[in-house]
């Protein structure tokens, strides 16, 4: 069997989820015995100072006998996160934007958030 035939056999069904710097690949693959299993791959792009980049990948192999338990626990965990923290995304990047909006809306700046806006004309 050629490499092309092997790759075509391996690609049974696939979906891609692009999420910022992360991409998730969901692939149905076939075992040597002819049964199907799922791989979930997270690929994250890292950029170096010189402009070059590389990807780090993490892969999960999920077999049919584990689907029900995996689905149940994933549902339970995602429901817990949404119930506890809501659907709004909270991250350091979003927090910086939030603090900036908060300062602009009330006009007050705390000592830790104060800054001086200088231009070359000021020097």
* Domains in the chain, CATH or no CATH each: 3-105 (3.10.450.700)
Contact residues for 35 (Cβ-Cβ < 8 A; gap 6+):
64
Q: For 49-65, what is each residue's pLDDT tens digit?
A: 898 888 899 999 999 99
Q: With beta carbons less than 8 A apart as the criterion, state whether 5 and 24 touch.
A: no
Q: How far apart are the first and last CA of the chain?
A: 72
- Among the listed ranges 7-21, 42-56, 97-111, which one has the minimum average pLDDT value? 97-111
Confidence of residue 11 (pLDDT cuts 50, 70, 90): confident
Q: Rounded CA gap, 9 and 46, in Å?
A: 31
The residues that bridge with 40 in the sheet, in sequence order, are: 26, 60
Instruction: Give the pLDDT score at 51.
Output: 85
- Mean of the pLDDT values across residues 92-110? 55
Instruction: Give the pLDDT score at 20.
Output: 85
Instruction: Give the pLDDT score at 112.
Output: 45
Coil vs helix vs strand at 104: helix
Q: What is the DSSP letter of 3?
A: H
Q: Is the pLDDT of residue 107 over 60?
A: no
Instruction: Give the pLDDT score at 76.
Output: 98
Q: With beta carbons less than 8 A apart as the criterion, state whether 56 and 39 touch.
A: no
Q: For 26-37, what is each residue's pLDDT tens digit?
A: 999 999 999 999
């Amino acid at each position: 069997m050629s490499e092309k035939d092997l790759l075509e056999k391996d690609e049974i069904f696939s979906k891609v989820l692009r999420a910022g710097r992360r991409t998730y690949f969901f692939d149905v693959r076939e075992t040597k015995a002819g049964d199907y299993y799922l791989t979930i791959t997270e690929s994250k792009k890292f950029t170096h100072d010189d402009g070059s980049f590389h990807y780090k990948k993490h892969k999960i192999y999920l077999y049919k006998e584990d689907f029900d338990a995996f689905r149940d626990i994933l549902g339970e965990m995602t429901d817990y996160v949404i119930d506890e923290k809501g659907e709004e995304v909270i991250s350091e990047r979003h927090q910086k934007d939030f603090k900036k909006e908060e300062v602009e809306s009330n006009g007050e700046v705390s000592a830790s958030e104060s800054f001086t806006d200088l231009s070359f004309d000021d020097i």
